[in-house]
Amino acid sequence: MHINLELYRIFYVTAKTGSISKAAKELFTSQPAVSQSIKLLEQKLGGQLFFRTSKGVSLTAEGEIFFRYIEQGYQLIQTAEHKFQEMLHLLTGQIRIGAGDTLSKYYLLPYLGQFNECHPQIQIHVTNQTTFEILDFLKSGKIDLGIINLPIERDAAVEITETQKIQDCFVAGRKFRHLSEAEISLTDLTKYPIMVLEKGGNSRTFLEKYWSANGLVLQPEFELGTIDLLIHFAKTGLGVSCVIKDFISEELQNGELYEIKVKEPIPKRSIGLVVLRDVPLSTAARKFVSLLTTGAKETQVNGR
């Protein structure tokens, strides 16, 4: 049966008001139009919905049962409209974000705090994964957007926005402080224990390509899961760590870590925001993306 929602709306209002004339007034239509619509609905259903009384109209026994279900449906539609408006005005909703441990802590966290302060009703879910896992999660609909390390291979399914430039560097603690006193070649540096992130992530792939571009093979002494471990291992004097310089400014300033300059500079790379191409984001997700991209522009202007 073809469902004409307008007929059900007219039935609902007539049943609620108990009057053809009152229903016509509420619906901004004529009494004959209401009567005709009810008659048409009764024909489609094959039974009588109302009977006339001295005060207006009342539901038949079958009409009473019918009304109970229509009322539930009508209320659900009203709830849907209300929820839709709440989401448009950021009174409810959620954002699902994928990001690695390092970017979650050193890049994403301040934005999350700022967004939550402005829109506390929005639920934020963050999933910690590698760059390649984030792309898979995005394509499968498990997250709305991802924060990843660039570069990545071109993918027609996703749209990438560069949000911040970052610079990798070599650092060591006091034990290897002497290495920071003069520029050193990558070949000579590899004579010392090298500590990098474990395989499986984009950052590790980036470093392997850097080593290869300089005619070397990356053979680290330690392969660790997070940049925090690389920092702590370097402070302890276990070797030379390759970390993101932008995220260790405090340690460099207070002398806990020392930057080691290499003759073969590590190329700059970027943090990227990824979303599915041609798939609309929710209002909350769009607002968060706007915050990220605006923050990126301010960072570039201020030279940070």
Q: How far apart are the first and last CA of the chain?
A: 64
- Token output for 258: 């020392």
pLDDT higher than 50, residue 303:
no
pLDDT higher than 80, residue 217:
yes
Q: Which one of 3.40.190.10, 3.90.25.10, 3.90.1150.10, 3.40.228.10 gives the CATH number of domain 168-267?
A: 3.40.190.10
pLDDT at 1: 55
Percentage with pLDDT > 90 across the chain = 79
Residue 52 backbone zone (phi > 0: left; psi -120 to 50: alpha; other: beta) = beta
Mean of the per-residue pLDDT values for the chain?
Answer: 91
Strand partners, 223: 196
pLDDT tens digit string along 260-279? 999 999 999 999 999 999 88
Q: Report the predicted TM-score, pTM, of the whole model to 2 decimal places.
A: 0.74
CATH topology assigned to domain 5-88: Arc Repressor Mutant, subunit A (1.10.10)
pLDDT higher than 70, residue 21:
yes
How much is the average pLDDT of 275-285?
Answer: 91
Q: What is the dihedral of CA 85, 88, 93, 98, to 10 degrees?
A: 160
How far is the C-alpha of 98 from the C-alpha of 147, rounded, in Å? 6
pLDDT higher than 80, residue 298:
no
Q: How many other CB atoms are there within 10 angstroms of residue 187's CB atom? A: 13
pLDDT at 251: 95
pLDDT tens digit string along 85-121? 877 878 888 999 999 889 999 999 999 999 999 999 9
Q: How many other CB atoms are there within 10 angstroms of residue 166's CB atom? A: 18
| Maximum separation of any 2 CA atoms in the chain, in Å | 102
201 — pLDDT class (breaks 50, 70, 90): confident
Helix (H) or strand (E) holding 132: helix 131-139
- Token output for 193: 């224990």
Q: What is the CATH number of domain 94-165+270-302?
A: 3.40.190.10
Matching CATH topology for 94-165+270-302 and 168-267?
A: yes
Please give the distance of CA 237 from its chain centroid, rounded to a whole number.
Answer: 38
Q: Where are the domains of the chain?
A: 5-88, 94-165+270-302, 168-267
pLDDT at 89: 78
pLDDT at 254: 95
How much is the average pLDDT of 135-145?
Answer: 92
pLDDT higher than 70, residue 296:
no
pLDDT higher than 70, residue 6:
yes
Alpha helices in 193-282, H assignment, sequence order: 202-213, 227-236, 249-253
